[in-house]
Structure 1
Amino acid sequence: MRLYALCDTDTLAKHGVGYEEFVQRAKKFGAEVLQYRNKKGDVAAIKADLIALRRLWDGYLIVNDQYELASFCDGVHIGQEDLTAIDLDPVRAVKILKMAIGDDKIIGLSTHSQKEIEIANALDINYIGLGAYRSTTTKSDAKVLGEKLDAIAAFSRHPVAAIGGVKLDDQFRHVTYWVIGSGLL
């Protein structure tokens, strides 16, 4: 299992956990990637948090959605809606995104079905997030794939990060990363 730690500000606040404590837990469990997600903060607050996290975390640091802040970390993870907001043509959208953040940055894309994976296979991205595996409190509208997730992951030419309600003891054959957030708390 390769661990991808999801540092969601709402979840941390709910559990009374600060960044330093979360990073220490992510390191303890052997996380390789840390994704910072703040759905309510403004750009200045997110930038400040990324700078603080970079001081604590020497692994891959990914920002969720806010690709204009990719210079403060190693890359960006975006959703389907974020991609189409850049351009309706996904290939063109990724090209525009790469121009905005640079070729040396990581790009991850959320996917939720085999069809979205097939589209992602044609994109110049580094990995996909696939899910949700289970229902979660952070994404109440997520379509739950359950046990089908691993079979759907087999269609990806990119490394797959299982997202949404994943636990440390889950087992997958076609998944590269287990994305764990509150499971580390």
Structure 2
Amino acid sequence: MRLYALCDQELLDKKGLLLEDFIEIAKQKKAEILQYRNKSADIAFIKQQLIKIRKSYDGFLIVNDAYELVEFCDGVHVGQEDLMTIDKDIFTAVKILREVVGKDKIIGISTHNEEEVLQANKMDLNYIGLGAYRDTTTKSDVSTVLGNKLDKIASLSKHQVAAIGGVRESDTFMHVAYHVIGSGLIS
């Protein structure tokens, strides 16, 4: 199992954990990737957090949505809805995103079904997040739980797949490169 640690600031605040605590847990668990997500802070705060993470974490650092801060990390992860804020056409949105972040940075997008995975195959991406695998308490907008179908859908991707949504370290997949674990890392 390869670990992709999802550090959600709202969850840290709710659990009374410091960013540094999460980073230490991710390092102990040998997380190869750490994504920092903060849906409510301003860009200046997110930038400060990315700088803090970079000082003590040597793996790949991904920022959620805030692609304007990509110079402070290794790449960006964007959800389907967030792509639509870049351009109404998701293919054009990814092209714009690639132009902005450059070829040397990582781009990942969220996918939720076979159709979105097949669309992603036509995009210049480094990986896709696929899920939700099971129900999760940290995201209220999870409309489709893929369960055991996730691995079959993952097999259709030409990109590396990170399983998202209620994933546990003990879960096994044949076609998934990374287990994305957030709250399960600190539970």
Could you state the TM-score of these two structures normalised by the residue count of structure 1?
A: 0.97
Q: Provide the C-alpha distance between the structure 2 equivalents of 1:149 and 1:45, rounded to a whole number of angstroms.
A: 35
AA aligned to 1:62 is I
Q: Provide the C-alpha distance between the structure 2 equivalents of 1:181 and 1:82, rounded to a whole number of angstroms.
A: 20
Q: Cα deviation per residue 1:119-160 (whole Å; 9 max; x = unaligned)?
A: 000000000000001111221121211111111111100000
Q: Cα deviation per residue 1:68-115 (whole Å; 9 max; x = unaligned)?
A: 111110000001111122123333222211121121110000000000
Q: 1:29-108 residue pairs with structure 2 within 5 A?
A: 29-108=29-108
AA aligned to 1:44 is A
Q: Shift in Å at residue 6 of structure 1?
A: 0.3
Segments of 5+ residues of structure 2 without an aligned counterpart are: none
Could you state the TM-score of these two structures normalised by the residue count of structure 2?
A: 0.96
AA aligned to 1:159 is Q
Q: Cα deviation per residue 1:21-69 (whole Å; 9 max; x = unaligned)?
A: 1111111111000000001111111111111111111110000011111
CA contact (8 A) 1:90 1:123 kept: no
Counterpart for residue 181 of structure 2: 180
Extract structure 1 runs of 4+ deviating beyond 4 A: none
CA-based RMSD: 1.0
Give the secondary-structure state (helix, strand or coil) at the position aligned to 2:124.
coil
Identity %: 62
Q: Provide the C-alpha distance between the structure 2 equivalents of 1:56 and 1:128, rounded to a whole number of angstroms.
A: 26
CA contact (8 A) 2:138 2:183 kept: no
Give the secondary-structure state (helix, strand or coil) at the position aligned to 2:6.
strand
Q: Provide the C-alpha distance between the structure 1 equivalents of 2:174 and 2:43, rounded to a whole number of angstroms.
A: 38
Segments of 5+ residues of structure 1 without an aligned counterpart are: none
AA aligned to 1:175 is V
AA aligned to 2:147 is G
Q: 1:128-143 residue pairs with structure 2 within 5 A?
A: 128-142=128-142, 143=144
